Structure 1
Amino acid sequence: MSKFTGASAWVPSEGGLKKLTAALPECRGCDLYEYAERVVPGEGPARARMMLIGEQPGDVEDKEGHVFVGPAGRLLDKALAEAGIDRSTVYLTNAVKHFRFERQGKRRIHKTPGAGHISACHPWLDRELEVVKPALVVVLGAVAARAVFGPGFKVTEQRGRPQELPDGRSAVATVHPSSVIRSREYRRDFALFVDDLRVAAGLLGGG
């Protein structure tokens, strides 16, 4: 059981993305709001056919208040372009909406959200899926995979393979772009990341 109350009390049950985004800053469903500078909402078309779900905002996103605008976002932009996906047509969000970090001197170092944070924030993700109604969900990394598929899902084993969610929606899992940045085999891992995104694009093209 999570020690947090969860976001349900703050998530509007009706209305569109504008109402959802307006409600986010009030959320007190877990402790992350106490430390992050701001909440970072999802962004993209209200009826996007593809939704990309990442882990959490990073340092740059937390400061600017926009999703995927830091180093991982720049790599994602490059990979999407190579896969033939126009970023402006997809909805981008995170499984956890606040930045979790630990301080090292003046720097804020990314810290992986805990299971309690993922669970607490899940009502926001559920509502985004209800509002946007994407035909395809692309899951970026292990935290997002836990939020979407459950704790038993292994991205390393299942990446790039078409999946089906309980609601019948199509999904594809791949690594988080930040892992490609850190890779010692950057060219290889960037190419594999693009390949996974091409699988996603192909699923949409056939839908």
Structure 2
Amino acid sequence: MAVDTAEKTVAASLDALREDAAGCTRCDLYRNATQTVFGEGGSNARVVFVGEQPGDKEDIEGRPFVGPAGRLFDAILEEAGIDRKKTYVTNAVKHFKFEPRGKRRIHSKPNAGEIRACRWWLDQELTQIQPDVAVALGATAARALIGKAVPVMKLRGTVAESLEGVPVFITVHPSSLLRIPDEMDRHRARELFAADMRRVKKMMRG
């Protein structure tokens, strides 16, 4: 019963954070984004996956990792044997940053100030959940978690430490796999990412 009570408390705290984040004005990105896209997942998550920011589809739906990269990510997690009920997915930056080009909205990389302004929310998520491991999906997530810019490709597969003391596994963002034009290279990259996820699974104690 004590575990159930603890999980309910964390879930309630995350719900309260989500409500507060809906009105976030910590940086100017809220002015053009449709809405805040907060984290989503189990309150008893053993792993927190951190991406860069919501994409166009996430911005519209208000949920993280629901676009093409998110679908690929879900498939690879399943292959790696990671139970989605034991995961929490979020982004370093909670608003979609983009440049309009005609009717399209083209992704624009968050800057250091925007990452820093949004770090408060990520800190609260990690503090509430207390996962066994946080996974930095790409350079922006790694910078947010570790507190400084790091060479992701050089450090891929290694473990650093977040500002809260949580182990941080460094890897690429699944969206990078979709941008590889050659089918064989894309397949190889997918296998490497799946291997990373199997290593993450071993770090999950629960």
Per the normalisation by structure 2, the TM-score is 0.89
Determine if contact 2:40/2:64 at 8 Å carries over to the other structure.
Answer: yes
- The whole-number CA distance in structure 1 between the counterparts of 2:23 and 2:105 is 23
Aligned to 2:147: 150
Aligned to 2:190: 190
Aligned to 1:12: none
Aligned to 1:100: 97
Quick one: structure 1 residues 167 and 124, their matched pair in 2 at CA, closer, same or farther if it must change by over 3 Å? closer
Shift of residue 167, structure 1, vs aligned partner:
4.3
Deviations 1:125-169 (A, max 9, x none): 001111111111111001001101233311101111233345442
Kindly report the root-mean-square deviation, in angstroms, between the aligned alpha carbons of the 2 structures.
1.4
Q: Tell me which amino acid in the other structure corresponds to 2:143.
A: R
**Secondary structure of 2:48's match?**
strand
Shift of residue 83, structure 1, vs aligned partner:
1.2
Determine if contact 2:138/2:171 at 8 Å carries over to the other structure.
Answer: yes
Determine if contact 2:59/2:96 at 8 Å carries over to the other structure.
Answer: yes
Determine if contact 2:34/2:60 at 8 Å carries over to the other structure.
Answer: yes
Q: Tell me which amino acid in the other structure corresponds to 2:153.
A: T
Shift of residue 66, structure 1, vs aligned partner:
0.5
Shift of residue 76, structure 1, vs aligned partner:
0.5
Aligned to 1:201: 201
- The whole-number CA distance in structure 2 between the counterparts of 1:88 and 1:124 is 21
Determine if contact 1:160/1:195 at 8 Å carries over to the other structure.
Answer: no
1:67 aligned onto 2:64: yes
Q: Tell me which amino acid in the other structure corresponds to 2:189.
A: D
**Secondary structure of 1:16's match?**
helix
Unpaired segments of 5 or more residues in structure 2? 1-11
1:85 aligned onto 2:82: yes
Using the TM superposition, name which of 71-80 and 161-170 deviates more. 161-170
Per the normalisation by structure 1, the TM-score is 0.88
After superposition, where does 1:7-22 map in structure 2 within 5 Å? 16-22=13-19
How many residues matched? 192
Deviating 4+ runs (over 6 angstroms) = none
Deviations 1:50-93 (A, max 9, x none): 10000000000000001100011011011111211122320000
- The whole-number CA distance in structure 2 between the counterparts of 1:182 and 1:152 is 23
**Secondary structure of 1:26's match?**
coil
**Secondary structure of 2:41's match?**
coil
- The whole-number CA distance in structure 1 between the counterparts of 2:166 and 2:117 is 23
- The whole-number CA distance in structure 1 between the counterparts of 2:113 and 2:165 is 26
- The whole-number CA distance in structure 1 between the counterparts of 2:26 and 2:159 is 32
Quick one: structure 1 residues 122 and 173, their matched pair in 2 at CA, closer, same or farther if it must change by over 3 Å? same
- The whole-number CA distance in structure 2 between the counterparts of 1:94 and 1:23 is 16
